[in-house]
A and B are shown apart, each in its own frame.
Chain A
Amino acid sequence: MAEDAPKFAWSRRRRVPRRFDRTAAIVVKETRELLRDPVYLGLSFIIPLVMILLFGFGLSLDVKNLPLVFADHDRSPYSRDYIDGYVNSEYFNLIAIETDPATLERGLRSGQARVIIDIPPDFGRRIASGQPVSVGVTIDGSFPTRAGVINGYVAAVNGLYNQRLLREALGGDGAVLPVQMDLSVWYNPSLESKNTIVPGLLVLILMLFPAILGALLVVREKESGTIFNFYASPVRRGEIILGKLLPYLAVALIDYLLIFLLSLLVFQVRFVGSVLTLSLGALLYSVCTIGIGLLISILTRTQLAAMLVTFLATVTPAFNYSGFITPVGAMDRVGQLIAQFIPATHFMGVVRGSYLKGLGLDFYWPQLAALAAYTAVVYGLCWVFLKKRIG
């Protein structure tokens, strides 16, 4: 420790070289470098803001106004009544009633029509005489999510029509179905998609950005050669890591505050939980994601490589497996395993809980503990791989 170190002038002046002096020196150096490049620093605040505004306002998961074409071969009051059921729903946008097969085919191929419903010529006659009838529904499957949703919407509108037919057939007004369902929605009663998306974006942005900032920290010094200053100086590995972490943690936390304030003030996302739990989670999570970037930075040789690895290691897994859009419970075994290995999954639980469920620290300590453990492993690896020598 300090006893073995050669006695330099400064150490004699202060007698006891305090452990945090060297860390503080690196913090000052990193902060100066950061402030010297206002474009870079500015962009590290602007991009998260652009992302949250653009995606928050624009990334609607609601599939609405689906272009629908009816091939009505019946053209009776019954078929028009059936079509009205679709026109009156907000999901569909009736663009044409068309019976020419070539035109229909072209519409589906070009994507101008996403769904075609074919009503047979005897539709009205069969309904009037109380017989079952089939309609053909052709869905454009090139975007499977959309196809699945269309399928669900068609089933729903068709089901409503059937219930009405049934009620009329079973004698006037009184008859009801023997099994009825009462649906209540918890946590997000109005089912607004902003309540899903904006908190989810907080998780994704705090995954990607701190990691990218961290990813350049060591590799940049390797490329410019200033890493040799560290090799030659008495600074220890832990001090390098801590000194580099702190200024960027400040950047990440400012990003967090900006997004948090925007989510409440601009998007007016429901927030019923504890700010403290959320902030504690955000702090741990940012330390963790900067650490992931640092680890990548230590393991790569060029900035481009560090950037690409960070991008590949964070964006795709976090978007697909963190439970942003699909619940983790709906994934298969391998998917759930991947989800457990991503810090975003654990933070997603805390974020959703804080915003929508109103649950606090006593409930989310396992998630926070998982994040802490993850962080410890990441920094442990950083410490092991950051060698203070050449090669």
Chain B
Amino acid sequence: MWGRLGAMLIKEFRQLAGDLPILFILLWGFSGAVFIAGRAISMDINNYPVAVLDLSRSPESRELIARLREPWFKVVAHLQSDAELTAALDRGRTSLAVVIPPDFARRVRAGEGRFQVISDGTQSQMATLAGGYITQLAGDYSVELLEDQLGPADRLLANLPQVDARPRVEFNPNITSAWFSSLLEMLNMITMISMLLTAAAMVREKEHGTLEQLLVSPLRPAELFAAKVIPTVVVILLLSPLSLFGIVGGVFGTPLRGSVLFFYAVSVLYVVSVASLGIYIAMLARNLAQAMMMLFLILFPMLFLSGATTPPESMAPWMRYATLVSPMRYYIDFGYQVLFKGNGLAYVWHDILGMLVLGGLMFGFSVARFRRLLG
């Protein structure tokens, strides 16, 4: 068995090593692509663009504008007229416009100041969050004004019941999105490469007509399988540390709290199971173009059902059940728990079990399909 498998493996590795463009692309996928995804900004409110139309021009209005500051807001324009305001929102130069009416200062002193905020709703989630933050800013300003009116702050504070919610963000104190998104891109890349590379290696035999030769050779189905999957595993084991230590840990300084060895051990299991899926698709398809289309049909829902873009708890119930058949859902959960939170087997055994069951099924299906091809 080892002789036959060895010979086949040597052929596979030679083919891979001879394809320099692919090697460069894989290298980019695990370095540059991870970097680009990591430095992209998050969905949180950061430097959210605000334009100001200040008709009051008073100390009170300037104080309000001064509060629209980083890290949440960034004043991108001081407007002069309604027409300018409409244009700024239409052109998307700003996502939020603050209008302070001429009598603002007088009315604030009378205890009934009002100002207007116009929000661009085209990015609904961001608009909701920005609205929440600006409400909070206005509230803080009000409280400080009240304190000024009612006496010195320390005396007043002692007499006003207020709840101070002090947030502490565990595992990621400054909510650095790069820690998350770079790691996510690496896990996505592992998934995508495992599938595409293995499927391509299999379809190539079909397209070149060499699959028939392999079928009549003494090579057993399991050996052919192993010969197609092992190079993928090796490539991923060699390249992914580059992104994990070089980009995720190195460039972005993400703390890797857990056992990297444990992570890689389970990653091998995951790569094998996703690669089996790739082989199954390859056997259904007649050519590479078809195989790629079918892979995309599976890959996109998988990336989407991984729980990274939409948290499972916020999904519709049917969607939450659908995620259970996506191996990536378990892998993403496993990856973040182990690498990021430093959790051990006690926390992630069910993820490993899920990957084992799904991987076993996919491997079984592929072998069964292959036997039928032989028979």
CA distance A137 to B37 in the complex (A): 30
Closest B residue to A363 by beta carbon equals B90
Q: Is B347 an interface residue (CB 8 A)?
A: yes
Set of chain B residues within 8 Å of A188, measured between Cβ atoms? 121-122, 124, 127
**A 30-75 contacts with B by CB, 8 A:** 37, 39-40, 43-44, 46-47, 50-51, 54-55, 57-67
Q: How many residues of B contact A (CB 8 A)?
A: 122
Q: Are A135 and B164 in contact (CB under 8 A)?
A: yes
Whole-angstrom CA separation of A200 from B141 in the bound complex: 36
Distance, CA A248 to CA B245, complexed state (A): 42
**B residues 230-244 in Cβ contact with A at 8 Å:** none
Instruction: Check B161–A335 contact: CB distance below 8 A.
Output: no
Q: Are A178's CB and B142's CB within 8 A?
A: yes
Report whether A162 and B167 are in contact in the complex, using a CB–CB cutoff of 8 Å.
Answer: no
Q: What distance in Å separates the Cβ of A45 from its nearest Cβ neighbour in chain B?
A: 10
| Interface 0/1 of B33-47, CB less than 8 Å to A | 100110111111111
Inter-subunit contact A47/B297 (CB<8 Å) = yes
Interface contact B42-A148, CB-CB below 8 Å: yes
Q: Which residues of B contact A51 (CB under 8 A)?
A: 300
- Decide: A144 near B300, CB < 8 A? Known: A130-B161, A328-B92, A352-B122: no
The reply on B66 being an interface residue by CB < 8 A is no
Give 5 A-B pairs besides A183-B135, A325-B125 with Cβ atoms closer than 8 angstroms.
A47-B297, A144-B44, A166-B143, A189-B121, A330-B95
Residue in A closest to B344 when the chains form the complex, CB atoms = A109
Per-residue A-contact encoding for B1-40, CB less than 8 Å = 1, 0 else? 0000000000000000001011001101100010011011
**Which residue of B is nearest A95, CB measured?**
B313
Partner of A50, one of B133, B301, B333: B301
How many residues does chain A have at the interface if contact means C-beta atoms less than 8 Å apart?
Answer: 124
Task: Please state if B116 and A184 are interface contacts (CB–CB under 8 Å).
Answer: yes
Q: Does A146 contact B (CB under 8 A)?
A: yes
* Binary flags per residue of B116-152, CB closer than 8 Å to A gives 1, else 0: 1111111111111101111110110111011001000
CB of A378 closer than 8 Å to a CB of B: no
Interface check B371, CB cutoff 8 A = no
Asked if A179 and B125 sit within 8 Å, CB to CB, the answer is no
Q: Given known contacts A44-B293, A303-B288, is B169 in contact with A316 (CB within 8 Å)? A: no
The answer to whether the Cβ of A142 comes within 8 Å of any Cβ in the partner chain is: yes
Give bound CA distance, A166 to B141, whole Å.
14
B232 to chain A: closest CB distance in Å?
Answer: 12
A127 to B164, CA, bound (A): 12
In the complex, whether B57 has a CB less than 8 A from a CB of chain A is no
Q: Is B49 an interface residue (CB 8 A)?
A: yes
A110 to chain B, nearest CB (A): 5
A133 partner residues in chain B, CB cutoff 8 A: 161-164
Contact partners of B135 in chain A: CB under 8 A = 156, 159, 181, 183
- What CA separation (Å) do A186 and B316 show in the bound complex? 28
Q: In this complex, what residue of A is CB-closest to B184?
A: A143
Q: Using CB atoms and an 8 Å cutoff, list the residues of chain B in contact with chain A.
A: 19, 21-22, 25-26, 28-29, 33, 36-37, 39-49, 64, 74, 76, 89-90, 92-95, 108, 111-129, 131-136, 138-139, 141-143, 145-146, 149, 157-173, 175-177, 179-180, 185, 192, 196-197, 200, 207, 285-290, 292-294, 296-297, 300-301, 304, 308-311, 313-316, 319, 333, 336-337, 340-341, 343, 347
Cβ distance B122 to chain A, nearest Cβ, rounded Å:
5
- Residues from chain B with a CB closer than 8 A to the CB of A153 are 132
Listed by A's residue number, 21 A-B pairs whose Cβ atoms lie within 8 Å are A37-B286, A60-B316, A61-B125, A62-B124, A66-B311, A111-B337, A132-B163, A133-B162, A143-B311, A145-B42, A145-B44, A158-B165, A162-B143, A165-B163, A166-B162, A186-B120, A188-B122, A307-B288, A316-B36, A330-B74, A334-B39
Q: Are B304 and A55 in contact (CB under 8 A)?
A: yes
Contact of B297 among A43, A93, A179, A327 (CB under 8 A): A43
Interface 1/0 per residue, A6-26 and B, CB below 8 Å:
000000000000000000000
A163-B123 CB under 8 A given contacts A61-B43, A178-B146? no
The 6 closest A-B CB pairs, nearest first, are: A141-B172, A188-B121, A148-B44, A320-B40, A329-B49, A177-B142
- Among B93, B170, B192, B196, point to the contact of A304 (Cβ < 8 A): B196
Q: Is the CB of A178 within 8 A of B161?
A: no
How distant is the Cα of A308 from the Cα of B343 in the complex, in angstroms? 34
**A182 at the B interface (CB under 8 A):** yes
Question: What mask results when residues 149 to 184 of chain A are scored 1 for a CB within 8 Å of chain B, else 0?
Answer: 101111110110111011001100000111111111
Complex: A349 Cα to B90 Cα, angstroms: 10
**DSSP class of A's interface residues: helix, strand, loop or mixed?**
helix
Interface residues of A in 343-373 (CB under 8 A from B): 349, 352-353, 356-357, 359, 363
A388 CB within 8 Å of chain B: no
Q: How far is the CA of A178 from the CA of B294 in the complex (A)?
A: 61
**A191 sits at the interface (CB 8 A):** yes
B36 x A317 contact (CB < 8 A): yes
CB of B185 within 8 A of CB of A316, answer yes
Q: How far is the CA of A300 from the CA of B19 in the complex (A)?
A: 11
| Distance from A105 Cβ to chain B, minimum over Cβ atoms (Å) | 10
A312 within 8 Å of B by Cβ? yes
Beta-carbon nearest neighbor of B87 in chain A: A363
B160, closest chain A residue (CB): A169
Tell me if A103 counts as interface (CB < 8 A to partner B). no
Q: Are A187 and B122 in contact (CB under 8 A)?
A: yes
Q: Which B residues lie within 8 Å of A381 (CB)?
A: none
**Nearest B residue to A85, CB-CB:** B163
Task: Tell me which of A61, A67, A155 contacts B165 (CB under 8 A).
Answer: A155
CA distance A149 to B125 in the complex (A): 10
Give the distance to chain B from A254, nearest Cβ to Cβ, in Å: 16
Contact B314 A329 (CB under 8 A): no
Quote the shortest CB–CB distance from A134 to chain B (angstroms).
Answer: 5
Q: Known contacts A37-B290, A126-B161, A180-B138: does B33 contact A312 (CB below 8 Å)?
A: yes
